[in-house]
Amino acid sequence: MRNKNVFFVGFFAVVVILIMGLTACSDNTKPSSPKIVEKSAPKPPEWILKGKTDATFMYFVGMAEQQPSLGNAKKAAVSEATKALIDYIGIRVTRKLSYKATGSEADNVSTLQQQIQESIEGKGNAKVSVEVEDTYYEKYSDGSYTLYVLVKLPKKWIEKERERQQKLIEQQRSIAKKYLSDAQTLTQQQFYQPAIEALWQGLQISGKAAENEDVYEEIRTTLLSLYQKLSLQLSTEPRYAYTEGGCDPIQVQVIDTEQGKPVAGIPVVVLSGEAKFVANGGTTTDAKGKISFTIPTAPKSSEIKAKIALSFDQYSNIIAADSELAEQLAAYQEKNHIPLKLKVSPKVKAIPTVVIVLQKIVKDTKSAQYKPNPQLSDMLASLLAEKGFFILDADRVTEDLFTSEKVSKDKILAQIRNNNKEAKRVLYVTIDTSVLGDMSKTTGMNTLAGMYSVEVRLVYALIDLANNQVNEGSPIKEKGIGLSEDQATQKALKATITSLVSYLDEVVASSKK
């Protein structure tokens, strides 16, 4: 037992020594505090700790610590002194009241005086002699600055300013409540745009002092409630942004949800981190509640994601002073927006196109009539869509439309115009399929017995439905060989369709160079 006790005592001593060693190491690695390497005076002035008073002036101290530059330190210290001054005057500062205090390394006393005067909210024409009595700064070994500023103002002016500010606050309250009353009347009359403008003006006025906080809150609640009455609707169906610049028409309408009527004069914006959207003809909705956008320059990405939302940019100075309002409006935009997703493509591929394929089979010198081939139409449409072409589904045409090729084309185009208003172009394809039969009979070679040959000739035209302009392409010919006529035919048809798709894609690629 005694040996065990000796062991535990020794072990405990080792642990204590290790802990003390680690603690010592920890103390040795603790960074030292930065040292003063420069001062603006041999020692700090007494007013930093004791302040300063006399019969004529009142003094206010502002301090800024750990600033990265002397300019930043001046700006922060002047801001603190200004806050102390305004608080003493009696303006109960809220988050809506900001302090203007800019600074640079070269700022002199007179510049700082002007900054302080500009920071007194609503000073109007009141004459005030603001003086920067003294400044003191220290620079530290880590490059940071600490600066103190002493500001003085006449006591008589401060007392007059207190009275003036109280009258100003009462006046602001009266004006803000008038804006609120006007907005409520305009809303009842469904004049939403001027009602919204009045409410924003009321926010700006009532947000200057905490005494009017209750009016501010009522106006803010009314404003958010009014925005809830507005709805965004997309009037077009944009799908593409063009690599050459521009995009499918993007038209938005703002609607009054209660009456279903358009609302004019409402700012709308398209928010996107991938492309710049520009409003055509102004940033607010027109008399019909509509606004349209375009993309001057498309990004290099293959897709653009965006949100269409009501814009609050013109009120950014009011929003910046109220973080709660900023959050509420951001939540509103997130909930009440139109998501937009555009593919980036050459314009020629983005034209809404209907594909029609007609096939005629020639066998044993007997020629059949052209008939629609839905399977080939679907194959061609699918392959073109994979290449990025905008392909629309077409109504199936019936065989009774086909009395002759010309008559059938006219009827097909008329049917597309009537039934598919989105279509802008038709890819009109005719295929002649010649079944050559058993190759041993056509070539005289018995070794080819049981092998069948088919020849396909494809002719296509791109038809602009708006002006009936026809762009005809060169014929494409392919052959197919198989163990049956059907196998040979399918091979030839597939090769022909694939060749057409590759050709059209190459034409687009070459046009971009």
Lowest-pLDDT range, 77-91, 115-129, 445-459? Answer: 115-129
- Rounded Cα distance, 305 and 340, in Å: 6
The answer to whether 64 and 73 have CB atoms below 8 angstroms apart is yes
Mean pLDDT of 147-175: 87
Residue 61 to residue 76: CA distance in whole angstroms: 12
257 has a pLDDT exceeding 80: yes
Above pLDDT 70, what percent of the chain? Answer: 79
Q: Check whether 171 has a pLDDT greater than 90.
A: yes
- pLDDT tens digit string along 228-244? 999 999 999 999 999 99
* Residue 481, both tokens: 């060989």
> Tokens 């008939």 map to which residue?
371
Instruction: State the Cα–Cα distance between residues 342 and 274, nearest whole angstrom.
Output: 11
Are 107 and 43 a contacting pair, CB within 8 Å? no
- Residue 16: the pLDDT is 39
Q: Is the pLDDT of residue 510 over 80?
A: no
- Model pTM? 0.64
pLDDT of residue 308 exceeding 90, the answer is yes
228 phi/psi in degrees, rounded to 5? -65, -20
* pLDDT at 429 (0 to 100): 93
Predicted local confidence at residue 431, as pLDDT: 92
pLDDT per position as a tens digit, 409-418: 888 888 888 8
Lowest mean pLDDT among 120-124, 300-304, 313-317: 120-124
Q: Show the CA angle centred on residue 432, arms to residues 427 and 437, nearest 5°.
A: 150
pLDDT band at residue 165 under the 50/70/90 scheme: confident
Q: Give yes or no for residue 97 having a pLDDT over 50.
A: no
Q: Give the pairing of strands 425-438 and 353-363.
A: parallel
Q: What is the identity of the amino acid at 13?
A: A
Q: What is the pLDDT of residues 56-65, one digit of tens each?
A: 999 999 999 9
Confidence band of 426 (pLDDT split at 50, 70, 90): very high
Q: Are 460 and 472 in contact (CB under 8 A)?
A: yes
- Describe the chain by its helix, strand, coil percentages, rounded to 5: 45, 25, 30
Q: How confident is the model at residue 124 (pLDDT cuts 50, 70, 90)?
A: very low
DSSP codes, 353-366: EEEEEEEEEEETTE
CA 66, CA 44: separation in Å to the nearest integer? 17
Average pLDDT, the chain: 83
What pLDDT is attached to residue 20? 47
Residues 292-301: pLDDT tens digits?
999 999 888 8
Confidence (pLDDT) at 483: 84
Residue type present at position 3? N
Flag whether pLDDT at 434 surpasses 60.
Answer: yes
Number of Cβ atoms within 10 Å of the Cβ of 195 = 22
User: Taking a C-beta distance cutoff of 8 angstroms, is the pair 431, 376 a contact?
Assistant: yes
Per-residue pLDDT at 444: 55
Q: Is 112 a residue whose pLDDT tops 60?
A: no
Domains along the sequence of the chain with CATH: 39-161 (no CATH), 235-313+337-345 (2.60.40.10), 348-511 (3.30.160.150)
Q: Are strands 476-482 and 470-472 parallel, antiparallel or unpaired?
A: unpaired
List the structure tokens of 317.
Answer: 């100075």
> Per-residue pLDDT tens for 23-59?
444 445 556 789 999 999 999 999 999 999 899 999 9
